[in-house]
Structure 1
């Protein structure tokens, strides 16, 4: 991330350049996000097919096997996060993202050819490895190529593009055959590989590797300018940031620093909120939940609505993120999700009572829940990883958070899958709603505001007990 707000930093008064390549790069990253969302939601239309007597693998799966198939992807994500830790400094975010896409393509090939439960498991594990190695790198890549004044909206672009993966799965998935769905899913990472090959690498990564000339060339492309003055200012800022974060301290000293511990705690809490807000359970089990809720609309139509509602939520979030900041978005997102889940739970609890004209409540609540989740909780915990960690600690921080979250989600899908049949969906709604309300307290008292701040300003803010508004820091 570098300062390109030329209205203030350029004494010549040059007009702000059109940074179209930053937007194109973010759009391409969004295509990979589509693939990642498809990987996670693939079970929604596929589970009924695999449970049927004419299962595409030759025999119907049991519910226990289905829970393993849905959750095992997170074991692969853990493996992928370890590979990310080992390969990040060597390959850089751009190459890591391309490796993740290639692994995803391999996973779809295996799932398409699967004629046994074991082959399904192998395919899902490889899909998880691809997601684990690439998912954290999307926010890191965006933050390292973005200007600070548009970093928030650039960070929202991959999520906005990515949600079309959910729309596709929930909307088209129920109407496509097993093989057709897999071929369609494999198209997304294939397109990404072709387009992203031409995108620039992170200038921060290139400076860390001593490739200054290449970093300067990429900066010129990202700035949309050949003016030496503009490029040199940004290049010097990147060099100074990398130098301060790497000189005089070992990696272990950086990891033990108060800033890293504070950043890790903030990201850790944020990820616990998204891990236990219900999203990872509700999405793959959506068809089953809708069938048990007694809704009047068809499950297929409700799935389409559930997927499409994310679009206006993420667009609005992207517009507001650089205007009102991260804290208000996370607060509103958490509060809205909490209220809708609690109401959903109350309705399900009283489902045996004749509620007359209130049959629309479960659909409305699930739709509003997905809207509020997409407004902030869905993407901010991942985005702040790229903002709060320094360039030297991002790989370790990403590894810790991704590995932990994968273990938690793996276990929660198994546990909540059992609780769904024994405790009922109403109880799960109240549990998830309580977690979302914790997100309100987190956003008010713990989450730092990073709107409009450079990496150095964010680290200085973490070091300070008294947080100053961004406007004061920038002045």
Structure 2
């Protein structure tokens, strides 16, 4: 009895520091939870029920994650198209001709439009939901592929890429948040890794189509990807966090039960109660997300972490390499066809993502990112050294023309094991509900801006200073970025979203501790 009184006094002290409305709301929640726990405990003693131990299963979380990740496959279709399509459009076999300059802008405008999509997503991700936001992102993709299929000049392609770029900005924002919110703590990293696996699977398939089939078949195959996504994902559940945000507690419980594979809502009462802590914080700071993101020190730290992550991920040059793969291998003079080299790299990416799925929730994300970043810098330096010897020193490199392919294969492995995946995981984990939509959108804008600079910069640097300078620049960014990220990033493995937020936010930490202490008193 004395323990109960002491816990209640601590809770009262905290509640008095809150505004009147929040105090009344929290009081009602605590009282109803006390009543529920007393009732449940009595039922357990009388009936000996095992409902509290219901384990459920995670198959629905995996299925929903795969279905949602088909939106990333839509983006893969846009990216893989560049490598086989642009050489075709620059050749005599095309119905219309595209210059090198126009081809460069076709790539760059996609990443510029990505910024616009990320900005638009801020206004509706918390209004229409994560699921509907993802579904809407598939529509620009369908429109863009229809424009490409019926293109009569390069302006059709230009407009199509701009439209699909807007869709990408919406997609990544909603997808990262959706995957983080539907997954349990033990599989959250794995689920986000699946996103990359699905993306690379479709990239490999479409790269094969681009290698062995015509330009027209490639376009039709790419169109089928967003259509497949729109059909499959429409049957998946909404994020329980969003439903709580809308005050639809009953629907949130149903969604959570479906995702966890459980039939007894009592088993998930505790989980739903902790989720509400984040929602209460969001409602308390309603319409102040941008202000809180900038003014709160812990939010600024999270932004700094994300900036380092995105800087390393994007400015390591992967996107530029992806969009110019055939050209890079043509410059190397390798006996292996550039198209086959592209296919080899696509296969390596796919295999690497399986490795990432296996280790992401078992090994520290900080350490993984650091090791992968340093190794990526080493392999990029090697590629740069080859081109330096060939074009600057004018040395005979005929005996090592295999080196760029080998180094880029190793680069792809370490990139997709860590650098490609971890930033998306942490974007969905670090920010609390009241700033998450704005913060993730801001993160995507940073990434899109860096990507635009990286792709545009590759062509400029390669023409004016040499391709080896571009690779050495990417290597430098990869090394410095990974070390800096390791230094400032907290460890999040094995923690719930609420526990991660409590690491940064003292107020959230106190609320979570009192929530759990109040439960322990009556259990």
Same fold (TM over 0.5): yes
Shift of 1:253: 4.6
TM alignment of 1:52-451, pairs within 5 A: 52-56=91-95, 58=96, 60-247=97-284, 250-255=288-293, 256-351=295-390, 352-355=394-397, 357-451=399-493
Runs of 4 or more above 4 Å deviation: 10-13
Aligned to 1:114, the other structure's residue is in SS state coil
C-alpha distance in 2 between matches for 1:237 and 1:460: 12
Q: 2: distance between equivalents of 1:26 and 1:406?
A: 23
Deviations 1:151-197 (A, max 9, x none): 11111111111112321343321322222111101111111111111
What is the CA–CA distance in structure 1 between the aligned matches of 2:372 and 2:481, rounded to whole Å? 8
Partner Cα separation in structure 1 for residue 198 and residue 281 of structure 2: 35
Tell me, yes or no, if the aligned pair for 1:328 and 1:443 is still in contact at 8 Å: no
Structure 1-normalised TM-score? 0.92
Q: Which runs of 5+ in 1 are unaligned?
A: 1-9, 465-473
Quote the residue 2:8 is aligned against: none
More helix per residue: 1 or 2?
2
Distance 1:449 1:248 in 2: 27
Unaligned runs of 5+ residues in structure 2 are 1-48, 507-515, 517-523
Aligned partners of 1:45, 1:252: CA distance in 2, in Å?
A: 42
Q: Which position in structure 2 is the counterpart of 1:469?
A: none
Deviation at 1:13, TM superposition (A): 6.9
Determine the structure 1 residue equivalent to 2:12. Answer: none
Judge conservation of contact 1:327–1:447 (CA < 8 Å) in 2: yes
Separation (CA, whole Å) in 2 of partners of 1:211 and 1:13: 24
> By how many angstroms is 1:231 displaced?
2.3
Cα deviation code 1:41-78 (max 9, x no counterpart): 3210011111012323x2x1111111111110112212
8 Å CA contact 1:171–1:303 kept in 2: the answer is no
**1:91-122 per-position Cα deviation (integer Å, ceiling 9, x unaligned):** 11110110011211111011111112221111
Q: Comparing 251-260 with 160-169, which one deviates more in the overlay? A: 251-260
Give deviations 1:392-439, integer Å, cap 9, x for gaps.
Answer: 211111222222332332233223212212222211111111111113
User: Structure 2 CA distance, aligned partners of 1:267 and 1:404?
Assistant: 9
Point out the structure with max Rg over C-alpha: 2
Correspondence for 1:30 among 60, 69, 74: 69
Q: Are 2:369 and 2:486, in contact at CA under 8 Å, matched by a contact in 1?
A: no
The Cα RMSD (Å) is 2.1
CA 1:366–1:451 in 2, change beyond 3 Å: closer, same or farther? Answer: same
Q: Work out the CA distance in 2 between the residues paired with 1:75 and 1:354.
A: 40
Give the TM-score normalised by the residue count of structure 2.
0.83
Q: Distance in 1 between matches of 2:400 and 2:135?
A: 48
User: How many matched pairs?
Assistant: 456
